[in-house]
Amino acid sequence: MLKKFFKKKKESPENKNILFAALLIHAAKIDENYTDTEKKIIKKAIMDLNEISSEKAENILKLAEEKEKESNQIIEFTKEVKKYSMEFRLKIIEIIWKIVYSDGTSDNYESNLIRRICGLLYISDKDNGIIKMKVQNFYNKT
């Protein structure tokens, strides 16, 4: 009986995707303005990161929105992301910066959240700055 209690639950791929998406949704909601543009960025990221259909991505997005509502801390989300390669973690930060700049500006709450996420994912300030400038330059051109 104790073995069952202490046995780790196997994470389903869908549950992992829900946690990734919940982190992105949390970043989108930090400025209290969760827009359709941000939802599109998150949905596209879900599709690109997992090579899944639009319908599956939409389902994951809905589940992730519920998960994000229920949670009050980002550690639950970053704990899953931290298990992946540095390349993947940097991609997540890039997506978050795209979400932040989708409305044209970055406020203090958004910048602070990204600094906290970078710390939890062991991403350096230098790498974060490079990604930020890349995304900023992209949005300044469009």
Summarised one tens digit per residue, pLDDT across range 10-65 is 455 568 899 999 999 999 999 888 999 999 999 999 999 888 999 999 999 999 99
Does 4 fall in a domain? no
In angstroms, the CA 129 to CA 127 distance is 5
Each residue's pLDDT tens digit, 101-117: 998 888 899 999 999 99
**Do the beta carbons of residue 20 and residue 92 sit within 8 Å?**
yes
Does 78 fall in a domain? yes
In angstroms, the CA 130 to CA 125 distance is 9
Query: Would the pLDDT of 88 be above 90?
Result: yes
Report how far apart, in Å, the C-alpha atoms of 93 and of each of 26, 103, 118 are. Answer: 13, 17, 8
In angstroms, the CA 60 to CA 97 distance is 21
E strands within the chain? none
Does 7 fall in a domain? no
Does 75 fall in a domain? yes
Residue 5's pLDDT band (boundaries 50, 70, 90)? very low
Does 27 fall in a domain? yes
* Residue 15, pLDDT score: 80
Report how far apart, in Å, the C-alpha atoms of 54 and of each of 44, 59, 60, 90, 136 are. Answer: 8, 9, 10, 24, 27
Does 123 fall in a domain? yes
pTM of the prediction? 0.86
* Residue 6, pLDDT score: 47
Which CATH number do you get for residue 89?
1.10.3680.10
Does 85 fall in a domain? yes
* Residue 73, pLDDT score: 85
| Helices 36-50 + 54-70 axis angle, to 10 | 120
Total domain count for the chain?
1
Does 6 fall in a domain? no
Could you tell me the residue range of the domain that residue 82 belongs to? 14-141
**Lowest mean pLDDT across 34-38, 69-73, 123-127:** 69-73
